[in-house]
Amino acid sequence: MQNILANVLVIAGAGVLIVALFYVSRLVGQLPSGLVRRRWHILSGLIGFFFLGYIGYTVVFWNRHTAWLDLLVPTVFFFGAGFVWLTVTLALRTAIDIRRVAVLEQENITDPLLGIYNRRYLDRRLQEEFTRARRYSLPLSLLLLDVDHFKRVNDTYGHQVGDLVLNYLGKLLLSVIRATDIIARYGGEEILILTPNTTLSAAAMLAERMRQHVETHELVLTSEPDKRQAIRITISIGVTELGRDVANTAELVHNADAALYRAKEEGRNRVVLGA
């Protein structure tokens, strides 16, 4: 009786370790490459080592458990394997939940059409950067841009193509801005770029790079040689800097909007500096 129970406990423990290894492999797949992932690989090796120990114990002590006290080690083996399995499954569940929360959080602050931040996130960051710039006397600039004659695109090609154009524009702008810049959809086809620690002249240079980058690219709708169809767009950009007389974020955005309006009035496809 003792032999059968001891053998079952050790073999079952080895089986639990195999299941734990399966969960570890799933967990590693949820993790980004780096130190944490490497440490879970090390843990996989340790679990494999324990599994070999269980098998070795089974071979050496097969049918040698003659007293109830002999069941102590097999029992510890079994519950030890259970502890490993429980730890791994909890870690996997936690990793999945963290990733789900991260995805939901990212979706909550991202505009699904342009692939940039949305207005909700922009309002929060704008206030944060405004406060930080005021507190530490740091430069802060703001770019507000609009697609030139976007209504004409919708009227000519339809709103679905208009959405493609906006999505393409978002990708173009993301390829130009810096890592510290904050780009978000302000409303309609208007996009706002917040540039912390950036003077007006540096922001103007960034705006000009963006304008040229958009102007020199085209969105190909049909690539067939005899039916090739592509759309080129241009943008107008208003640029302003946080001055001493700017009382709040609304006034800062208003100055950029006024500069954008002047860019349109002066012929579009240009960068205009505001107050």
Domain residue limits, the chain: 2-109, 119-273
Q: Which amino acid is at 256?
A: A
What integer pLDDT is reported at residue 273 of this predicted model?
A: 96
What integer pLDDT is reported at residue 167 of this predicted model?
A: 94
Is position 190 annotated as part of the catalytic site?
no
Task: Tell if the pTM clears 0.85, that is, is over it.
Answer: no
Per-residue pLDDT of the chain (275 residues; tens, 9 = 90+): 666 777 778 788 888 888 888 888 888 887 777 787 888 888 888 888 888 888 887 877 777 665 665 667 778 888 888 888 898 888 888 888 878 877 777 778 899 899 999 999 999 999 999 999 999 999 999 999 999 999 999 999 999 999 999 999 999 999 999 999 999 999 888 999 999 999 999 999 999 999 999 999 999 888 777 777 889 999 999 999 999 899 999 999 999 999 999 999 999 999 999 87
What integer pLDDT is reported at residue 68 of this predicted model?
A: 63
What integer pLDDT is reported at residue 38 of this predicted model?
A: 86
What integer pLDDT is reported at residue 2 of this predicted model?
A: 67
The architecture in CATH of the region 119-273 reads: 2-Layer Sandwich (3.30)
What integer pLDDT is reported at residue 256 of this predicted model?
A: 96
From 128, 189, 251, 266, active-site residue:
189
Contact assessment for residue 172 and residue 213, using Cβ atoms and an 8 Å cutoff: yes
What integer pLDDT is reported at residue 32 of this predicted model?
A: 76
What integer pLDDT is reported at residue 202 of this predicted model?
A: 96
